[in-house]
Every structure is written in C-alpha cells, then in structure tokens.
C-alpha cells in the first residue's frame, strides 16, 4: 500500500468520524451531543478567556505534584531493598496487595483527610504513580541482577561499584518506562479526583458543566483532557528519542502497524 493511499484513507476516516459526530448531534439534538462546530467554538472561547488554561494548570499541578511525591520513592525503594532481601520478601505481599488496591476508590478518603483542594489530588495521584513506578523499577533491578551482577562480581567489582555501574544503568530504562506509563495515569487520577470533589481543574470543569446540562462545555472539556494527555505523551516520546538517539531504530518499540498475517 502506498503512503499516499494510507494518508488518504486516514483523511477519509477522519471525515467520516466528523460526519458521524455531526449526524449524531442532529439526530439526538445538541442538548445530548454537542455538534463539532459548537464544541470547537466553545473550546476556543474557553481558551481565549483563560478558563481552560486555569483549569488545565490546576490539573497539571495535581498530576505533577503527585508524580513527584509518588514517583521518586517508587524509583528509589527497589534499590534500597536490593541489599535487604529478607525485608523485601517480608514486604512483598503487602506491596503486591497495595498495587492491587483500587486507588481511585480511595478518593473519598483522600478528600476526607486532605480536603477538596490540591493536596487531596496530589495524594491520589501519588498513590497511583508510586506503585506503577515501584514495580517498574523493581523489574529493572531484577533484570540487571540476573544478567550482569554475577559477571561484575567475578571480575572483582565492589558492591558499590556493582550498584553504580551495573544495576543502576540497567534499571534506568525500566524506571523511565514506569514514569512514562504513569504520566497518563497521573492525569487520569487527577481528573477523577476533580470529578468527585473539587472547585478547580479540568475534571471539575467537566463535572460542573454536566450538572448544568451544558453538553458543549462537557465536550470541550473532554477534548481538552485528551489533548493534554496526547501532548504530554508526544513530548515525552520526543524527549526519549533525543536522549536515546544512540539506540538502533530496531530496539525502539514499534508504534507503526505491523499487519498480522
């Protein structure tokens, strides 16, 4: 299939999707499905009067704060536990259970403890990010241990040298992978916190609009959240490509379609 055709096909899909959206708006009425044009207009209007930026800023702050509060310990703890296998074994079932706990269902607890402001969202996001990063980093530490540590010890490296030159570099890609996965979860968690109880943020914007039956703003808000996630993901990928330029193209995960036979 030629590249031009693929591009044309995609354009067709986009046009069909827009047409279906418009049609749905006509069939169900603008009260239920906000038409594309009205949504776009509302989106621009919200951008112009600064509302969207304000709410997005709050959501981002909640996500970023929780990301730091949860992500850093999540990345460091597996290294500490590497030297304490017994403690690690004791903690293991608790950490696994903690990973399984539905953090979003804890939101009312966080709101009880930290109020409806930023702090409760940061706590929620942190609880989500912590376990994601923790298990990625732990996988990295394990991977490094299995392959290389034995070899390094054989050639006489000290424990510290092993940690610095073998385990750490080996685990870094895993930690980054954990961070990357956590990004969209962080935003999702922040939005959920805002949906449930808040006075600012994109989640609040959507929830408040839905209670006013303002479908157009709900749609615009959803688009804003989606764009936020996509932009952040793209930025991270661009950064990753730059940082990991030395890696052969093959080693990078394929994002393009590989048609199955």
Of the candidates 153, 130, 134, 132, which has an alpha carbon nearest to the alpha carbon of residue 142? 134
Q: What is the dihedral of CA 72, 75, 80, 85, to 10 degrees?
A: 140
Helical (H) or strand (E) element with 251:
none
Q: Binding to other proteins by residue 150, rule CB under 8 A?
A: no
Give whichever of 60 and 152 is closer to other proteins, judged by the CB atom. 60
**Minimal distance in Å, beta carbon 220 to other proteins?**
12
Q: Are 38 and 215 in contact (CB under 8 A)?
A: no
100 lines the binding site for other proteins (CB under 8 A): yes
Distance (Å, rounded) from C-alpha 242 to C-alpha 239? 5
Q: Position of tokens 């239920």?
A: 32
Question: Does 233 engage in binding with other proteins (CB under 8 A)?
Answer: yes
Contact between 66 and other proteins by CB under 8 A: the answer reads: no
Which residues, 182 to 201, sit near other proteins by CB under 8 A? 184, 187-188, 191-192, 195-196
The minimum distance between CB 77 and other proteins, in angstroms, equals: 15
Task: Provide the 3-class DSSP secondary structure of residue 103.
Answer: helix
Distance CA 178, CA 219 (A): 30
2: contact with other proteins by CB under 8 A: no
Residue 84 binds other proteins, judged by CB under 8 A: no
CA atoms within 13 A on the CB side of 143: 14
**Is residue 215 involved in binding other proteins (CB under 8 A)?**
yes
Residues 228, 234: Cα–Cα separation, whole Å: 10
Number of residues in contact with other proteins under rule CB under 8 A: 61
Q: For other proteins, which residue of 30, 213, 244, 247 counts as binding (CB under 8 A)?
A: 213
Q: Phi, psi at residue 105, to the nearest 5°?
A: -70, -15
Give the residue with the Cβ less far from other proteins, 160 or 211.
211
Nearer to other proteins, 18 or 161 (CB): 18
CB of 250 to other proteins, least distance (A): 12
Phi and psi at 120, nearest 5°, equal -65, -35
How many Cα atoms within 13 Å fall on the side-chain side of residue 27?
6
Identify which range of 39-47, 105-113, 117-125, 165-173 contacts other proteins by CB under 8 A: 105-113
Selection from 108, 137, 135, 133 nearest residue 123 by Cα: 108
**Which residues sit at the interface with other proteins, rule CB under 8 A?**
1, 6, 9-10, 12-14, 17, 32, 86-87, 89-91, 93-94, 97, 100-102, 104-109, 111-113, 184, 187-188, 191-192, 195-196, 202-203, 206-207, 209-211, 213, 215, 218-219, 221-222, 225-226, 229-230, 233, 255-261
């Amino acid at each position: 299939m030629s590249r031009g055709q693929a591009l044309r096909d995609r354009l067709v899909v986009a046009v069909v999707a827009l047409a279906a959206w418009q049609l749905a708006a006509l069939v169900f009425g603008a009260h239920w499905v906000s038409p594309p044009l009205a949504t776009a207009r509302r989106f621009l209007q919200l951008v112009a009067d600064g509302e969207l930026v304000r709410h997005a800023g709050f959501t981002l702050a909640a996500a970023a704060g929780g990301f730091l509060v949860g992500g850093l310990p999540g990345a460091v703890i597996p290294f500490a536990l590497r030297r304490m296998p017994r403690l690690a074994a004791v903690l293991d079932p608790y950490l696994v259970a903690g990973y399984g706990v539905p953090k979003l269902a804890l939101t009312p607890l966080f709101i009880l403890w930290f109020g409806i402001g930023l702090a409760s969202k940061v706590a929620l996001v942190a609880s989500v990010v912590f376990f994601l990063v923790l298990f990625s980093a732990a996988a990295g530490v394990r991977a490094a241990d299995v392959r290389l540590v034995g070899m390094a010890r054989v050639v006489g490296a000290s424990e510290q040298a092993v940690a610095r030159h073998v385990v750490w570099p080996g685990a870094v890609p895993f930690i980054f992978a954990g961070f990357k996965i956590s990004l969209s979860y962080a935003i999702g968690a922040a939005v959920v916190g805002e949906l449930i109880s808040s006075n600012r943020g994109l989640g609040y914007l959507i929830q408040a609009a839905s209670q006013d039956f303002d479908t157009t703003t709900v749609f615009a808000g959803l688009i804003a959240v989606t764009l936020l996630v996509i932009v952040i993901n793209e930025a991270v990928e661009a950064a990753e490509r730059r940082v990991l330029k030395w890696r052969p193209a093959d080693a990078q995960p394929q994002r393009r379609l590989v048609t199955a036979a």
